[in-house]
Amino acid sequence: MFCHQCEQAANGTGCNKVGVCGKQPNVAALQDNLLHGLQGLGFFASKARKLGATDPAFDAFLIEGLFATVTNVDFDAARLANIIVRCAELKNKAQKLYEDAFKEAHGIKARTFENGAPSWVPAADLVTQGEQVGIEKLHSDPDVRSVVEILIYGLKGMAAYADHARILGKTDPEVTAFIEQALAATCDPELGLMDFVNLSMECGKHNLTVMGLLNEGHVDNYGHPVPTPVNTGTKAGKGILVSGHDLKMLEELLKQTEGKGINVYTHGEMLPAHGYPGLKKYAHLAGNFGGAWQDQAKELPQFPGAIIFNTNCIQKPADSYKDRLFTWGCTAWPDVTHIDGFDFSAIIDKALACPDVAEAPGKEILVGFGHNAVLGVADKVIEAVKAGDIKHFFLIGGCDGAKSGRNYYTEFAEKVPQDSVILTLACGKYRFNKLDFGDIGGIPRLLDIGQCNDAYSAIQIAVALAGAFDCGVNDLPLSMILSWYEQKAVVILLTLLHLGIQNIKLGPSLPAFLTPNVLNFLVENFNIAPITTAEEDLKAILG
């Protein structure tokens, strides 16, 4: 196996024996094989679309297939093999759709494609086949391969957000067309470096659309988030802990657990759920348990109720809680019960059979500062900036992870001067969200915008502030100190670059898939810099 798609890549170069995430070599090969099949499907779906022929089945499948290959999502070889079989069926369908449309348009038979992803058919041994088509085979030129990888990881990250949006009924055919076109491009040996640079920027653009759709889906269904205190303790009684990003899944579970004496707790990236009026109305949405995903091995054994992951980031479960663990959606772990669809009776029964969660006091933390809430007090914020009470904004957030260098983000937040406001989002917030930052004239100094996809909200806030001060986003007293872990962070970064946002500080380490030349390109064009120390970076920013 060889995989270096996330920040955990072994030795900072790549996992080649087993994934640091827990991905076994057979699973890595199956994911590579699936990606190859998806390239083939994208190739024919894109060609068919150009001739006016589409099939909605491709859209959902491309999104789910890509999402299944995101870090910490699907570790189940049997499930991946089934997805590959389905991929082959759809690829055949797309090929036929294209060939029929071609015949109709031109009166002659379409040419046949004998090499690479367009000719992919699943072999009897899917693992061995997958070993032949890993990312090292993507392109012979290392710099081109590096940018192709940026594009592929961007597509994977975007697919994750598109999946949540689709579950809420929000889709955009232009996004689907782009996913098909970009997948087709990644297996085109004729394309060069700048083609992939442009496609990567385009991926950032489409991701902004997708995050906008997801935001719309959340707001349409649950209202705009409002500032809400969330307790981090537990109540006595039965409990279910929900981890991941999918709010629809949480809503359905809340409906089905109502009146059953079960308290529902959020974990990790589900924390922002407490800020939505349509979710916080459930009295048994009881609080937030634990820290970010990488602490699950330590924390989940302490939660005696049932636990469900509805998206990343799942890790190898210990035997102590494996039998009360469930997965949903694209997330899967071998021998862990997977729930398809929205019937949650299995986990409800399990929660009722599990021992009670004990009463434990917790802290109150504030969530719910989406763009609507922040812009609702924009006058106050702008006044405070003009009066010199707020001198700087720091967006500190992104994906969290296990590396010790990530203490940087805690230190940075602690050292931010008292006259500055910290905006945060995604699971990186757990590095400091239980600290007390106080307020500036009633405006909390720590504003939790939400999940990683709520980068959309952060962008809206930045754009509105730039409008109020009649300047560009890059001219605002705003610095972005971002942490990355997996492919969702890659696509958010592409969105920020597409918007022309400069001077981002990125850590804890730079992606292993960036070659020195590609990194230079990013530095020269966007002034991206790796984090150094909290003191030095703060000094460099504030002068």
Binding positions for ligand SF4, rule: CB under 6 A:
3-6, 8-9, 15, 19-21, 23, 71
Give residues with Cβ within 8 angstroms of 15, minimum separation 6: 1, 2, 3, 4, 8, 9, 21, 23, 28
* Least distance from ligand SF3 to the Cβ atom of residue 303, Å: 17
Distance CA 377, CA 76 (A): 47
427 is in an annotated binding site: yes
* Least distance from ligand SF4 to the Cβ atom of residue 299, Å: 20
* Least distance from ligand SF3 to the Cβ atom of residue 299, Å: 14
* Least distance from ligand SF4 to the Cβ atom of residue 1, Å: 7
87 is in an annotated binding site: no
Distance CA 100, CA 251 (A): 43
Which of ligand SF4, ligand SF3, none does residue 20 bind to, with CB < 5 to 8 Å depending on kind? ligand SF4
Distance CA 536, CA 505 (A): 12
Minimal CB distance to ligand SF3: which residue?
399
Do the bridges between strand 439-440 and strand 443-444 make them parallel or antiparallel, or are there none, so unpaired? antiparallel
Output the six-digit token pair for 69: 């290959």
Q: What are phi and psi of 358, to 5 degrees?
A: -85, 155
Q: Are 459 and 395 in contact (CB under 8 A)?
A: no
Which of ligand SF4, ligand SF3, none does residue 293 bind to, with CB < 5 to 8 Å depending on kind? ligand SF3
Which of ligand SF4, ligand SF3, none does residue 6 bind to, with CB < 5 to 8 Å depending on kind? ligand SF4
Which of ligand SF3, ligand SF4, none does residue 289 bind to, with CB < 5 to 8 Å depending on kind? none
- Give the residues lining the site for ligand SF3 (CB under 6 A): 245, 268-269, 293, 312-313, 399-400, 426-427, 451-452, 485-486, 488-489
Which of ligand SF3, ligand SF4, none does residue 485 bind to, with CB < 5 to 8 Å depending on kind? ligand SF3
Q: Are 303 and 290 in contact (CB under 8 A)?
A: yes
Write the CA distances from 63 to 35, 122, 150, 159, 183, integer angstroms.
11, 20, 17, 5, 12
DSSP 283-351: TTEEEE-SSSGGGHHHHGGG--SEEEESSS---PPPHHHHTTEEEETT-B-TTSEEEPTT--HHHHHHH
Compute how many other C-beta atoms are within 10 angstroms of the C-beta atom of residue 73.
28
Residue written as token pair 């205190």: 229
Q: Are 492 and 479 in contact (CB under 8 A)?
A: no
* Least distance from ligand SF3 to the Cβ atom of residue 436, Å: 24
354 is in an annotated binding site: no
Nearer to ligand SF4, 153 or 456 (CB): 153
Which of ligand SF4, ligand SF3, none does residue 8 bind to, with CB < 5 to 8 Å depending on kind? ligand SF4
Nearer to ligand SF3, 71 or 209 (CB): 71
Nearer to ligand SF3, 18 or 402 (CB): 402
Q: Binding site for hybrid [4Fe-2O-2S] cluster, residues? A: 245, 269, 313, 399, 427, 452, 486, 488
Q: Binding site for [4Fe-4S] cluster, residues? A: 3, 6, 15, 21
